[in-house]
Chain A
Amino acid sequence: MAIIEVNQVTKVFGTDPESILRLMDDGWNKEKIYRERKHTVGVNNVSFSVNEGEIFVIMGLSGSGKSTLVRMLNRLIEPTRGSIAIHGKDIVKMNKEGLIKVRQKQISMVFQKFALFPHRTVVENVEYGLEVQGVDKAVRRKKAIESLTLVGLGDWANSLPSQLSGGMQQRVGLARALANDPDILLMDEAFSALDPLIRKEMQDELLELQEKMKKTIIFITHDLDEALRIGDRILLMKDGGVVQVGTPEEVMTNPANEYVERFVEDVDLSKVLTASSVMRRPETIGLDRGPRVALQLMRESGISNLFVVDRGRRLIGVITAEDASVAVREGRTLEDIVIRDVAVVDKDKLLYQLFDICSTSKHPVAVVNSNNRLMGVIVRGAVLGALAGNPDQRTEQPAEVKPASTEGVSANV
Chain B
Amino acid sequence: MSKLPLDKWVESIVDALETGLKPLFHVISVIIEGIVNGIANTFHWLPALVFIVLATALGYYLGKWKFAAFTAIGLLLIDNLGLWDHTVDTLALVLTSAILSIVIGVPLGIGSAQSDRVRGIVTPLLDFMQTMPAFVYLIPAVTFFGLGVVPGVIASVIFAVPPTIRLTNLGIRQVPEDLVEAAEAFGSTSRQKLFKLQIPLAMPSIMTGINQTIMLSLSMVVIASMIGAQGIGADVYGAVTQIKTGEGFEAGLAIVVLAIVLDRMTQHIVRKNRRGSNV
Contacts and interface: CB of A to CB of B under 8 A. Distances in A.
Interface of A: 71, 74, 76, 100-105, 107-109, 111-113, 115-121, 124, 128-129, 131-133, 160, 176, 180, 186
A191 to B, nearest CB: 16
B279 A124 contact: yes
B185 A103 contact: yes
B178 interface: yes
Size range of the chain B interface in the assembly: 20 to 34
Nearest to A112: B178
Contact of A109 (B182, B197, B278): B182
A103 B179 contact: no
Contacts of B186: 103-104, 108-109, 128-129, 132, 176, 180
B197 A113 contact: no
Contact of B184 (A76, A101, A105): A76
Contacts of A109: 181-182, 185-186
Nearest to A124: B279
Contacts of B182: 109, 111, 115-117
Contacts of B279: 119-120, 124
Contacts of A102: 187
A133 B188 CA distance: 8
Contact of A132 (B189, B200, B201): B189
Contact of A101 (B185, B187, B201, B278): B187
Main secondary structure of the interface of B (DSSP, over half): helix
Give the one of A105, A119, A160 with max B CB within 10 A: A119
Contacts of A176: 186
Contact of A111 (B181, B200, B278): B181
Interface in B113-158: none
Contacts of B189: 100, 132
Contacts, number: 70
B242 interface: no
Nearest to B184: A76
Contacts of A71: 181
A191 B182 CA distance: 16
B245 interface: no
Interface in B236-279: 277-279
Contacts of B174: none
Nearest to B274: A119
B26 interface: no
A119 B279 CA distance: 7
Contact of A119 (B188, B192, B277): B277
B163 to A, nearest CB: 23
B178 A118 contact: no
Contact of A113 (B178, B192, B277): B178
Contacts of B181: 71, 76, 109, 111, 115
B22 interface: no
Contacts of A115: 176, 178-179, 181-182
A121 B277 CA distance: 9
Q: Which of B186, B188, B278, B279 has its CB near the most chain A CB atoms (within 10 A)?
A: B186
A105 B186 CA distance: 9
A178 to B, nearest CB: 12
Contact of A129 (B179, B187, B277): B187
B267 to A, nearest CB: 19
A112 B197 CA distance: 19
A104 B183 CA distance: 11
Contacts of B197: 117
